[in-house]
């Protein structure tokens, strides 16, 4: 049987067709009055497009059609028919699939995630607290010595029924040798030495205090609780629950520290917990001796926008018309700015100008609110130049931090 090959140079830029020619046996069998049928052309198109470009295949069609008595016009008609019968080059079809997939993915993220947030409170809980992410990783939190905190003890306190809080207590640096091998009773008795006591309330994803060594070196006691659901504490976090935990620890410390200063240091999420707790104390006629707010935010809404599945509530406000913000429904507020209007304790704001989660403009606004509620002598703001690169979590590295903290304590 005759086998027809494309003429030399029939390809584009010398490209051969089909590596030696396409089989047209079926074509020859279907010749009717020296005219190739559409069915035959479809076979050739399928063979050609799997090995060479569509342009080369089209050139081959033109040559073959004219060889069998047809015209270039009829060849073009056949090629167009092939295209319209879903024989489009794969590269075009592949691009179309990617485009279609991208559109569907955008729709899914834009509409499905708000629905999930609205229907699944656990998602909101994780976005706010990120308590399942434990930092530092792969550390036994019951053994603080593994983190070089060799004058620290881990204990567990019950803030309410069914809730066990893991708490680290670090004694002043000067007592580190004396602390070796001591039990919980010895650590609790050290509160009576008159040294100031810091309660450090960490942010989300946290379970430890990077400032412990700084504060201990200054001669202070440091207590770092893991809120419920964080670290090795039991339960699940809620705004009311975190406030209850902080208030319980404050009462526990005051019952053992006599007249020693008790200062609360909140970082990020911890600033909301600290100010909530301060308001609870005011309601019963008490107040903190001092409050330090590092990386503070106005409300829970501010840091949540850093999460990838909630940014569209602020970038595209119109979507709130269809999907109401779920934070309020899940009772996530942390109204720091509103709390500052009620607080009467001395306050020290610490903030990095390059903070990527809580803008410096926000803390400046909160500073003004706090000053108007008290006076400029009782409220201080220390900002750190953005060129230092501290961002949201790095202020503990600043060499001036010990002096700043010590001066604040001495002013109380």
Q: Identify the weakest region by mean pLDDT among 49-58, 262-271, 363-372.
A: 49-58
Q: What are 73-101's pLDDT values in tens digits?
A: 555 555 555 544 444 455 555 666 677 77
Residue of 130, 159, 216, 268 marked active site: 268
Q: What are 236-252's pLDDT values in tens digits?
A: 888 899 999 999 999 99
Of all residues in the chain, what percent carry a pLDDT higher than 70? Answer: 58
Q: What are 264-322's pLDDT values in tens digits?
A: 999 988 999 999 999 999 999 999 999 999 999 887 555 444 443 454 455 555 555 44
* Helix/strand/coil (H/E/C) assignment for every residue in the chain: CCCCCCCCCCCHHHCCCCCCCCCCHHHHHCCCCCCCCHHHHHHHHHHHHCCCCHHHHHHHHHHHHHHCCCCHHHHHHHHHHHHHCCCCCHHHHHHHHHHHHHHHHHHHHHHHHHHHHHHCHHHHHHHHHCCCCCECCCCCCCCHHHHCCCCEEEEEEEEECCEEEEEEEECCHHHCCCCCCCCHHHHHHHHHHCCCEEEEECCCCECCCCCHHHHHHCCCEEEEECCCCCCCCCCCCCHHHHHHHHHHHHHHHHHHHCCCCEEEEEECHHHHHHHHHHHHHHHCCCCCCEEEEECCCCCCHHHHCCCCCCCHHHHCHHHHHCCCCCCCCCCCCCCHHHHHCCCCCCEEEEEECCCCCCCHHHHHHHHHHHHHHCCCCCEEEEEECHHHCCCCCCHHHCCCHHHHHHHHHHCC
Residue of 226, 245, 355, 398 marked active site: 355
pLDDT, position 312: 46
pLDDT, position 143: 78
* Average of per-residue pLDDT across 53-78: 53
Residue of 131, 169, 351, 392 marked active site: 392
226 has catalytic annotation: no
Fold of 133-299+331-410: Rossmann fold (3.40.50)
In angstroms, the CA 85 to CA 91 distance is 16
245 has catalytic annotation: no
Q: What are 139-166's pLDDT values in tens digits?
A: 766 777 777 788 999 999 999 999 999 9
State the pTM of this model: 0.67
Residue 114 has pLDDT above 90, yes or no: no
Question: What does the mean pLDDT of the chain come to?
Answer: 76
355 has catalytic annotation: yes
């Amino acid at each position: 049987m005759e086998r027809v090959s494309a003429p030399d140079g029939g390809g584009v830029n010398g490209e051969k067709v089909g590596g030696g020619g396409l089989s047209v046996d079926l074509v020859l069998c279907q010749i009717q009055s020296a005219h190739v049928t559409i069915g035959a052309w479809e076979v050739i198109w399928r063979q050609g497009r799997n090995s060479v470009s569509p342009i080369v295949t089209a050139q081959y069609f033109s040559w073959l059609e004219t060889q069998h008595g047809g015209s270039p016009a009829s060849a073009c008609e056949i090629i167009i028919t092939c295209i319209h019968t879903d024989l489009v080059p794969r590269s075009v079809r592949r691009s179309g699939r990617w485009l279609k997939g991208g559109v569907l993915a955008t729709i899914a993220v834009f509409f499905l995630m708000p629905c999930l947030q609205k229907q699944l409170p656990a998602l909101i809980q994780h976005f706010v607290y990120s308590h399942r992410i434990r930092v530092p990783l792969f550390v036994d939190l019951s053994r603080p010595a593994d983190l070089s905190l060799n004058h620290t003890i881990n204990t567990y306190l019950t803030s309410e029924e069914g809730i066990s809080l893991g708490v680290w207590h670090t004694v002043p640096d000067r007592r580190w040798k004396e602390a070796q091998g001591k039990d919980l009773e010895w650590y609790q008795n050290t509160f009576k030495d008159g040294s100031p006591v810091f309660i450090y309330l960490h942010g989300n994803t946290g379970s430890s205090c990077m400032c412990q060594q700084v504060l201990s070196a200054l001669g202070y006691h440091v207590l770092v609780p893991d809120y419920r659901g964080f670290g090795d504490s039991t339960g699940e976090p809620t705004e009311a629950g975190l406030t209850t935990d902080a208030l319980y620890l404050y009462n526990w410390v005051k019952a053992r520290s006599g007249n020693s200063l008790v200062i609360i240091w909140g970082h990020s999420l911890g600033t909301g917990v600290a100010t909530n707790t301060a308001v609870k104390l005011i309601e019963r006629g008490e107040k903190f001796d001092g409050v330090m707010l590092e990386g503070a935010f106005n409300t829970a809404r501010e840091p949540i926008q850093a999460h990838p599945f909630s940014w569209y509530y602020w970038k595209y406000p119109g979507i709130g018309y269809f999907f109401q913000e779920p934070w309020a429904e899940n009772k996530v507020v942390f109204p720091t700015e509103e709390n500052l209007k009620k607080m009467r304790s001395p306050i020290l704001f610490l903030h990095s100008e390059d903070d990527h989660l809580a803008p410096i403009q926000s803390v400046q606004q909160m500073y003004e609110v706090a000053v108007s509620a008290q006076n400029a002598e009782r409220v201080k703001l220390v900002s750190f130049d953005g060129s230092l690169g501290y961002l949201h979590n790095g202020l503990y590295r600043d060499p001036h931090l010990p002096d700043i903290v010590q001066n604040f304590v001495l002013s109380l």
